[in-house]
Amino acid sequence: MSGSHYFSSAPEVASERRPITVSLPDLTLELTTDTGVFSHGGLDKGTRILLEHAPPPRVRGPILDVGCGYGPIALTWASRRKRLPVWAVDVNDRALELVRLNAQELRLGNVQASRPEDVPEDLRFATIYSNPPIRIGKAELRRLLTHWLGRLTPDGSAFLVVQKHLGSDSLQAWLNGQGYPTTRVTSVNGFRILEARPRPETGEGTDSGRGTTS
């Protein structure tokens, strides 16, 4: 049934919270997951590859996790960059509840969990990290990605992890065709990490020299 999908706003499957441990080379997070959210049984392979192999933010500014689930990406980067605001965005209200709970338990005051429509329209992000919801369908996925890529700062970057057999190479070509310069950062165990940049015209009339890497 549609309400059981993790990309539904209100999953119909009964709640069954459970603790999990997310162990990364630089930190360990004790988190709570629940049924009805993406990969509730533990950290999925794609997200782990993104967290272990994606570069750190290239410029300073707000960080965004698109399709946050219970929050492993947002909470990891909030722990790594405690002075930066981190936004965790999802359409799944159960997932957002978990992000808020996990952030509170980890004492991370720099995390904001929000539905997409509740993100302030004038807010721009320096870095996006996402394991995008491929299974929502190609058309919807493209709309989602172009919406959030349009919210990058002129010197920002989006790091996306996508399996090769689920269309990472064709997605890279499509993003380039839409005017978003997109390159492959690395390939690990059949997953690609893509880096997408804003359309060049986004930076017209703005100060794009705020910095490069840190």
pLDDT of residue 214: 31
Task: Provide the CB-side half-sphere exposure for 5 (13 A, CA).
Answer: 11
What are the backbone dihedrals phi and psi of residue 68, each rounded to the nearest 5 degrees, phi first? -70, -20
Per-residue pLDDT band for 10 (boundaries 50, 70, 90) equals: low
Neighbours of 159 (CB within 10 A): 22
Residue 174 confidence (pLDDT) above 50: yes
* From 1-5, 128-132, 152-156, 165-169, the region with the lowest mean pLDDT: 1-5
Which run of H or of E encompasses 170?
helix 168-177
Residue 208 has pLDDT above 80, yes or no: no
Per-residue confidence (pLDDT) for residue 202, from 0 to 100: 42
12 vs 147, residue with greater confidence: 147
Q: Given pLDDT bands bounded at 50, 70 and 90, which one contains residue 173?
A: very high
Share of the chain above pLDDT 70, in %: 88
Of 97, 129, 94, the C-alpha closest to 113 is 97
**Vertex 94: Cα angle to 153 and 27 (nearest 5):** 60
pLDDT band at 109 (very low <50, low <70, confident <90, very high): very high
Residue 151, amino acid: R
Mean of per-residue pLDDT scores for the chain: 88
Q: Is the dihedral of CA 84, 85, 91, 93 positive or negative?
A: positive
* CA–CA gap between residue 198 and residue 157 (Å, rounded): 7
Residue type, 7: F
**Other C-beta atoms within 10 Å of 205: how many?**
8
Largest CA distance in the chain: 51
What residues have CB less than 8 Å from 5, skipping those under 6 apart? 11
- pLDDT tier at 14, thresholds 50, 70, 90: confident
pLDDT of residue 15: 80
Task: Compute the distance between CA of residue 141 and CA of residue 14 in angstroms, rounded to an integer.
Answer: 27
